Amino acid sequence: MMSMVAVLILIAGLSESAGRVLPLVARRPGMSKPVVAGLLLTGGLVEATVITLWPRFARSVAELLADGGGSFAWTPGLVAPLVLAGVLAFPWLGPLLHFALLTAVGATLAGPLAAATGVNWWAAAGILALTAVLLALAVDIVRRLVAKGLSIGVVEQTA
C-alpha cells in the first residue's frame, strides 16, 4: 500500500514538474536534453516532497489548535486525484480546473484530518487551504530564486 502511494506521489510530482518545465522548454527550444531531464527530475522530486509534506504540515497546524491522536496520511484513493491535478497543471489545459481539483482533494482530506486531530471539518478545511498556500508560496519563492540564479549565470556567460 505504501509503495503504491509513493509511486502515485512521484507520478504526481513529475506531472506537476512537467506542467512547469515544458512551457519553459517551449519558449527556449535550444535547451539541452540533459538540462531538461535534470529540471524535470529535480522539479518532480521537489513537487513530490511538497505533496508528501502537505498532510503532515496540516496535521501539525491542526494539532496546535486541538488535541488528537488519530492517524492522518496519504492513501492511494486520496493521492490519485493529485496525479490528475498535475496533468491539469499544464497552462493550456486549464489552471481553473487544476485549482478546482486541488480544492476537491483538500476537501477530501479535511474529513480524515478532522477525525485525526479533533478539529471540526471547516477548521480542517481551512488548515488544509492555509498549509497548501504556504507550501505553494515557499516552492514558488525557491523556484523564482533558482530561475533568477540560472538567468544570472546565462547573462554572465554571454557577456
Question: Is the four-CA dihedral 103, 108, 114, 117 of positive or negative sign?
Answer: negative
Query: How many H helices and E strands in the chain?
Result: 5, 0
| Residue 51 Rama label (left phi>0; alpha psi -120 to 50; beta) | alpha
Nearest CA to 62 among 2, 159, 129?
A: 129
DSSP character at residue 88: T
Three-state secondary structure string covering 28-85: CCCCCHHHHHHHHHHHHHHHHHHHHHHHHHHHHHHHHHCCCCCCCCCCHHHHHHHHHH
pLDDT tens-digit map of 42-98: 888 888 888 888 888 887 877 776 665 555 666 666 666 666 555 555 544 556 666
Q: Judge contact between 70 and 119, C-beta under 8 A.
A: no
pLDDT tens-digit map of 8-25: 778 777 777 777 777 777
